[in-house]
Structure 1
Amino acid sequence: MSFDASVTPDAVAELSARELRRSVMGRWGFRLGVAVGWLAFVGVWYLASEFVLGTQQLPPPHTVADEAWQVLRGGGFGSTLWASLSRVIGGCVLALAASILLGTVIAYSSWWRGLLGSLTRFFVSIPTVALAILALILFGVSGLGPMLTAALVATPYVMSSVAQGLTGVDRSLIVMSESFARTRAQIITSVLLPSSILAVIGGARQAFALAWRITLLTEVFASSDGVGFQIRRSFESYDVRGMLAWTALFIGLMFVFENLIFRQIERRAFGGAHASVANAEQRR
């Protein structure tokens, strides 16, 4: 057996330091790219406001930021935001619950897979604006319409993600569990859920991303409160600054909510999933 004399502790340490520097430079490069992208976006906004559309049609960023600050200082910001956020969370939870149930059925039944596949293609082809107007007709001006519309639009996409995660579970782990006389409940909690948790979390993140967009759109037509209603009221009074300010505040909050909650849950789930796989491999 030959021994490579170049593989020394010093060489390994140098390689590790080089990889660490490369990783740090990659992170800083990504951050720099994000900063440059935002600066370019703001610059194009200023140019379009000043030379293309005019400040009346497209207010510059600093005036929108000032309007957003005035909205934040206003007394009704909290109640307006909570009205929209509660509908987003409700639609996300409904979509995720329905997706887990339907995704499980799709993963283990070919007949249901064909039926739900046809229904999914039908619902995906319906324009979102038509669903928002239909919610107004069915539920009137209420908070129920935006929440149910968000759940209805998000469910087909999340259902597909959950079904793919369930069908990708390693069958050998299930067979091995059955050979050791594990009950169905033990197989579900020890094999299926840990193996498909990443797909479920990914589906939840996708449901949240779709729910807040659909909720905002539906509130424009079928709500008497919430951020979408404020955008419609600003539009009716031709207050472009108010429209952009409410939109920017809501989008910013949703991004913060998604990064602080879903990203952290996803990181913990990745660690737990890797630990489950390692334990399963050790049992073999």
Structure 2
Amino acid sequence: MSKSTYSTKHHHDRYSPPPYSNRSSYVSPLEKLDRLAQKFQSKKVLENNNYKKLYYEGKCNLFETSNYRYYHIHHQTPMDILDDLIDYAKEVTNYTIDTEDQLQPPPQPSKPALLQIEYVYENNPSILLIIEMMYLPKQHEPAFIKIKQLLKIIFSNNHTIYLWGGIHKELKHFYRFGLFDENDINSVKERNIQDEFKCYLNQTYPLSPDIKLKTNETYSLQFAIYKMFNQWLNKRFTLANFGCGLDPALDTIIIPRQFSNQQKRIIEDEEEIRKFMINYALNDCLAVTK
């Protein structure tokens, strides 16, 4: 069952695992993630920790948004929810999108895992979708046809799509799922906010030590949020396991047999990191809109 949640505040990663005597055997998903990030993205970890330090020193605020509600989209999403989302989409012309990948063991490339879409309203709270690509209905099933219909409306003629980067690069690996294709993407009006932010910053602050002048140089979304709003957008979960099945309704938490005596702790850890990942995925969309 898909869920919708209303929120004005966002989780902060205050979670730390309790001291267990056999922690050398069991490693929490959050600990695994931090080790992975330190190994493959140590520079980004350092950058995120610098913003975190500024936050704890009271020199910036935690990223905040206005009210919104969100829905998980997958093979268990009720048809009436999909019908409602289709009706809402018929009244909206501006959307923000973002994606998350599922990291694979080297040398395999990452797999598309999430497609986040925000219905951008001028005065009303946003609606956000988290489409869980690894848990879609089969293509012949009515729910898949409904999801495809929804995305055909969103990616339709003259609709404006905001995103951090280029739309074709962001979505080209999602065509394989059969929900939309390149022709659909070609029909929308793309707003690459990353490029627009670069033009704005370089023209407004030409003497800034942070200036990036080369064509292939880009600013991160995290930097933009800090520069424009003095807020810390936590990027701790960039390499998280986004293909795990975030919606609790999918019931994807597995207890390894060797850790069956720690079932309660493992379930708590898995539920906790899924909440953080959902928040991260939503914030990546909301930050672009902001």
Give the TM-score, by structure 1 length.
0.25
Q: Bigger radius of gyration, 1 or 2? A: 1
Considering fraction of residues, name the structure with more helix. Answer: 1
Considering fraction of residues, name the structure with more strand. Answer: 2
